Structure 1
């Protein structure tokens, strides 16, 4: 429907044409208006909620703010060039199909729009950007939808190991940031490798990107898989445009609105947080790495894109929904061809639902245990629900039916105590350690002969034709 977008502005124009962008011209204060608006738009219909573009920010003559760009299934579909009414399941399989094109070589360019303005001295992010707290008890303003680019200091020429990820950055001073890193994340590995060499880590922070790049940057890929080459695959095989950042030499998106270059300090940690996280709770504070900003590049009249987080659902739940589900599905499908689909949309996959054909008795729990060893499952899949292939994992009514009648708690609830899990989950005890729960809601198969499932209710064959007719009549 639409060609791939090289920048955020092109996508906003497409959203506008599809009536999926709401322009706010009235004057607004960065706090509390922008955070309040982020929560408010998340409360609207998740199928059609629009993106928001604020053109009149108090204290900033030029800068604009975009919120909720990925925050509905309509916007998610338009990002992929699909009809905005495409179902969740259709979008899931579309992403999976496009993955087959990976890797797609990048499109290297010389000049970028964000090179229009460069600030190298007297950097003050509070003056350059309309930073604000998303939720009232945040420890400070954050950059939370930036593509953070770093290289593996132990293998700096390996393009695949150059990481592009979404990590929260607390703005602590005019040129001073705190950044969250976790051991399973590629950025966390880059920190370790740089400190083993006793050196700082160059970093580039790209804000206001095209929607596919943000999707790829938030996807759990293999350590040596390039997010830029994945973005090309998800653009339908169209190479992704990048350009080399002048201070760090890192590869950054060509179409960004703002690019910040700097260095992560060697062996230095500072208290960071609290921050209202995707779990719906404040994550508290920790000793985390520190960044000094060396350069700020930006377009004229830049668009500062932000991501609202809070009690689900919010924009992050759409952004991290299918790009979390598809990698788990691919891993499982490679080992178990019977697996049909994976729904890891709920709170970044803390609940993961898998539909599969059942090869033999106990097969569902075997599949679930494998899910716990996938790159994302290691840190996130706290509760895994396995259902038959006849159950649509994206249809919660069907999933709840399977849980209601297929699960015998005595046999089908399997707990694994004291496993590693992301520290952001407030139920951890201590945080970073949690149990795992598998609920096997598949129909028992030989040699498991439990239950009375031999006579399922079947509908008239003509029901399918009637369903099509009724859909047409009610359109």
Structure 2
């Protein structure tokens, strides 16, 4: 569905855009299914969500006999993400780019709906409907929480998403990859201190998108979220620590990442469609839970469509910004579904000089270490169609001339083919040479195909028409 609302309409009747407003819009546009009550939190909920992941969001009332409902599949297509921001799909990346360029500082409030109910005595699985998702996951996981941490020295906040295993009534195992949260934690750990954090569950899609921006250290992603929304995000101080959290979130888990403590975490079904292995990881000690009255718990099925899109689109926007700084010929980028919306990047360019695609390939690898393959194509290739990308490789690429290989680079530790994150990179120049005979790379085209009116061209009752033709 193409977005039809303006940014002002995104807030609509809701002065503070939140998860509930987005769910109301999904319901109003027939994109929200409601499951029967009482589905099991162990596998069954995730199975239903997975079945509908490319069609509809799903709200689960009373899952596992919990009073708190669960929602999954907030996004089944990139057009839904554009819709959540009130822009056409074609303007999605430019909107995100503009938000990164012009962040909007958040504002602090003294009282907030997310603190309507406060639990200082914590039992995570009794108090929250936390599902188990993939078959061999080690148990229930919180998968859609924003982990907000403060720089121990400056107080500047970072927002990210991490897989969070329930390890005990008030204990969570967390995977910290080599990014900003881990940097903050190491700063705290070296000082012998715990890192104050909050896990925020159930926010407006803009906050989730912003958390995935490839931003510099000490850039607060909630300011990017504010720019996406067109209004500052209201934030409130946690009850047990100094972290500020979105005031209109559904649920907040307050805690600390403990220094010098590691405990087993995993396996867990990840975005590469494999299980992240079990290993000793960092540990969160939970100090309190706060939530709205009648809260809604958001979950993301690991490795599903929602997982891939929410991570992929902010990375696309950031990589496009990164490339366009040095290469004005770059017009668009896509992290492909087949490449898990992380590892394979297609870059569309208006080619200006020979050799330029290889420079763009090297520039792209510098944009994010997760990238494993970059394909550069011409303007006539639809990068939303993976078969078109493959066609460009098949007809415009020669391995002995157009291939770039880099060995021993940093990659994703979640890629099982890597050596603990050390990975090879491959770049493919699938563009046409600039100087060719006019018909050498001329794509075939059936004249008038764009103007065909099938209702006018085809008969209404094909079975009857066929029978008449056969009967003579």
**Contact 2:10 2:84 survives alignment (8 Å):** no
Residue 404 of structure 1 is aligned with which of 388, 394, 402? Answer: 394
Q: In the aligned structure 1, how far is the partner of 2:139 from the partner of 2:64?
A: 18
Aligned runs of 1:367-382 on 2, under 5 Å?
A: 367-374=360-367, 377-378=368-369, 380-382=370-372
**Contact 1:170 1:273 survives alignment (8 Å):** yes
Residue 166 of structure 1 is aligned with which of 153, 161, 166? Answer: 161
How far off its partner does 1:315 sit?
Answer: 1.4
How far off its partner does 1:459 sit?
Answer: 7.5
How far off its partner does 1:98 sit?
Answer: 4.8
Q: In the aligned structure 1, how far is the partner of 2:450 from the partner of 2:371?
A: 35
Q: Bigger radius of gyration, 1 or 2?
A: 2
**Contact 1:178 1:289 survives alignment (8 Å):** yes
Indicate yes or no: 2:279 matched with 1:275. no
Residue 56 of structure 1 is aligned with which of 62, 65, 69? Answer: 62
Indicate yes or no: 2:281 matched with 1:288. yes
**Contact 1:55 1:65 survives alignment (8 Å):** yes
**Contact 1:71 1:316 survives alignment (8 Å):** no
Alignment CA distance shift 1:97-1:469 (3 Å):
farther
Unaligned runs of 5+ in 2: 458-472
**1:18-75: per-residue Cα shift (whole Å, max 9, x none)?**
1111112332111231121122112xxx3xx111111122332x21100111233343
Moved more, 72-81 or 249-258: 72-81
Q: In the aligned structure 1, how far is the partner of 2:456 from the partner of 2:184?
A: 57
**Contact 1:24 1:56 survives alignment (8 Å):** no
**Contact 2:196 2:257 survives alignment (8 Å):** yes
**Contact 1:322 1:345 survives alignment (8 Å):** no
Q: In the aligned structure 1, how far is the partner of 2:441 from the partner of 2:177?
A: 47
**Contact 1:15 1:78 survives alignment (8 Å):** no
Q: In the aligned structure 2, how far is the partner of 1:98 from the partner of 1:298?
A: 28
Q: In the aligned structure 2, how far is the partner of 1:97 from the partner of 1:34?
A: 37
Q: Provide the secondary structure at the position in 1 that maps to 2:401.
A: helix
Q: TM-score scaled by structure 2?
A: 0.88
Aligned runs of 1:87-236 on 2, under 5 Å?
A: 87=89, 89-100=90-101, 102-121=102-121, 123-156=122-155, 159=156, 162-183=157-178, 185-235=179-229
Aligned residue for 1:338?
Answer: 329
Q: Provide the secondary structure at the position in 2 that maps to 1:385.
A: strand
Residue 10 of structure 1 is aligned with which of 21, 33, 46? Answer: 21
- How many residues are aligned here? 444
Q: In the aligned structure 1, how far is the partner of 2:453 from the partner of 2:302?
A: 38
**1:220-265: per-residue Cα shift (whole Å, max 9, x none)?**
2221222111011111x22222112121121111111111111110
Q: In the aligned structure 2, how far is the partner of 1:109 from the partner of 1:31?
A: 38
Aligned residue for 1:437?
Answer: 426
Q: In the aligned structure 1, how far is the partner of 2:154 from the partner of 2:242?
A: 15
Unaligned runs of 5+ in 1: none
How far off its partner does 1:460 sit?
Answer: 8.6
Q: Provide the secondary structure at the position in 2 that maps to 1:28.
A: coil
Aligned residue for 1:456?
Answer: 441
Instruction: Provide the aligned C-alpha RMSD in A.
Output: 2.3
Alignment CA distance shift 1:18-1:203 (3 Å):
same
